[in-house]
Amino acid sequence: MVMTHALIRFLKKQDPNCIIDVFAIPVLQPLIKRMPEVNRYIVSPFKHGDVKLFERFKVGRSLRVAKYTHAYFIPNSFKSALVPLFARIPRRVGWCGELRYFVLNDIRILDTKKIPLMVERFATLGCKQGEILPKPMLLPELLVSAEGRNLVLNRLNISLSGKPILAICPGPEHRSAKRWPPTHFADVAIAKKKEGWDVWIFGGPKERELAQIIQERSNNICLDLTGKTDLGEVADLLSLVTVVIANDSGLMHVASALNKPVVAIYGPTPSEVAPPLTKNKFKTLSINLPCSPCAKTDCILRHNKCMYDLRPELVLQAIAEVCS
């Protein structure tokens, strides 16, 4: 969703009078509210894997009254294209995914060598057929307010100490191979705490177990925010931190869209496809192993060395570099 903001900004730049609505799952609503170009958020009632053909028809029919002229598809699935088809949106634009020739009428064929960056692939959908995305492209850039920050600070009873703040994002929740060991995060937290920093841990409810490991190893020196915030509040709080260390994850892209200094850790995924998109300093870290990048959800060799062998000292050095 964060990378989709590049497409949204590009469409708005081409036609400042265009009205952009976003159809997405409920958890993304607070994040989309930080995208000023978006007019309206429409809740998708469909969970991952849901087909529910009749329900999709009813949702699409309900959207006909809006008389949309264009629909842009980010997911590659067949079913994701059905609602705009049923809504009778005249121009339906997307990359050729799974059997979508009958539901899209502006189909693009992706050449990954010509368009290596995922964010460019999304933004290019805003071009006409055969056109090249103008450079430099507009990067995702979330907008947070002082009012929003104060609301979440007061709700969570957080007092700012004036010290530099290290943000730790130990997720993602679904892909264990992409997670740097929580004990490594803890070692970095201990080192920065000794230097006088505060340390905040971010994530959803499913990252609580990772945060608990970090807290146990570091003797509870961190402020654990996992499961206590929605994505919009995460953006509000990340806007206050000094630097972010994160795996290749959604929160890494949120931090980048806030233009924070970022240290991003990659193992099974290549940093060249989805690097941090911050205008600030950033550093991507990975170690070259014969088995990586494998793009697997779990390590098929069961050692996860691409993450375990990347030592905390390297991350501490990278933090110093992006904060200099």
State how far the Cα of 82 lies from the Cα of 321, in Å rounded to an integer.
Answer: 47
What pLDDT does 98 receive? 66
| CA 67 to each of CA 71, 86, 90, 176: distance values in angstroms, whole numbers, following the listed order | 11, 12, 9, 43
**175: how many CB neighbours lie within 10 A of its CB?**
18
User: Rounded to an integer, what distance in angstroms lies between the CA atom of residue 189 and that of residue 32?
Assistant: 31
For residues 188 and 102, membership in a common domain is answered with no
pLDDT (tens place) for every residue of the chain, 324 residues total:
999 999 999 999 999 999 999 999 999 999 999 999 999 999 999 988 788 999 999 999 999 999 999 999 998 888 888 999 999 999 999 998 766 777 899 999 999 999 999 999 999 999 998 899 999 999 999 999 999 999 999 999 999 999 999 999 999 877 788 899 999 999 999 999 999 999 999 999 999 999 999 999 999 999 999 999 999 999 999 999 999 999 999 999 999 999 999 999 998 888 889 999 999 999 999 988 877 787 777 777 777 888 999 999 999 999 999 999
Pairing outcome for strands 282-285 and 91-95: unpaired
| Preceding omega of 136 cis (within 30 degrees of 0) | yes
Domain match, 192 and 312 both: yes
Q: Is residue 307 part of a domain?
A: yes
Beta bridge partner(s), residue 70: 91
**Phi, psi dihedral angles at 302 (to 5 degrees):** 65, 25
Any domain includes 16: yes
Phi, psi of 245 (to 5 degrees): -115, 130
- Whether 268 and 154 map to the same domain: the answer is yes
The whole-number pLDDT of residue 173 equals 74
Q: What does the pLDDT read at residue 138? A: 95
Whether residue 220 lies inside any domain: the answer is yes
> Helix and strand tally (H, E) in the chain?
12, 11
**Is residue 264 in some structural domain?**
yes
**Residue 280 shares a structural domain with residue 198:** yes
Rounded Cα distance between 312 and 324, Å, is 18
User: Is the domain of 219 the same as that of 289?
Assistant: yes
Q: Within this chain, do residues 165 and 104 fall inside the same structural domain, yes or no?
A: no
ω into residue 270 within 30 of 0, thus cis?
no
Same domain, 162 and 292: yes
CA distance 105 to 89: 10
Q: Please state the domain count of the chain.
A: 2
Residue-wise over 146-172: b if at least 16 C-beta within 10 A, else e? eebbeebbeeeebeeeeeebbbbbbbb
Domain boundaries, position 282: 147-322
List Cα–Cα distances, 69 to 20, 26, 60, 92, 268, in angstroms: 11, 24, 14, 9, 40
Find the length of the chain. 324
User: Among candidates 168, 183, 182, 299, which has minimal Cα distance to 242?
Assistant: 168
Residues 97 and 65 in one domain: yes
Helices (H), the chain: 4-14, 29-32, 53-62, 82-86, 118-124, 146-155, 182-194, 208-218, 231-238, 250-257, 305-308, 312-322
Instruction: Please check whether residue 12 lies inside any domain of the structure.
Output: yes
Neighbouring residues of 35: CB distance < 8 A, sequence distance ≥ 6 = 5, 8, 22, 142, 143
Same-domain pairing of 80 and 185: no
Q: What is the dihedral of CA 146, 152, 158, 159, to 10 degrees?
A: 20
Verify that 170 and 311 share a domain, yes or no: yes
Long-range contact pairs involving 56-62 (C-beta distance under 8 Å, separation at least 24): 56/82, 56/83, 56/86, 57/82, 57/86, 59/83, 59/86, 60/84, 60/85, 60/86, 60/87, 60/88, 61/86, 61/87
Question: Can you give the CATH number for the domain in which 44 is found?
Answer: 3.40.50.2000
In a domain, 213, yes or no: yes
Whether residues 157 and 293 share a domain: the answer is yes
In a domain, 194, yes or no: yes
Residue 280 is assigned to a structural domain of this protein: yes
> 271 and 159, same structural domain?
yes
DSSP, residue by residue, 212-237:
HHHHHHHTS-SEE-TTS--HHHHHHH
- φ/ψ (deg, to 5) at 226: -65, 130
Residue for token digits 């690097």? Answer: 275
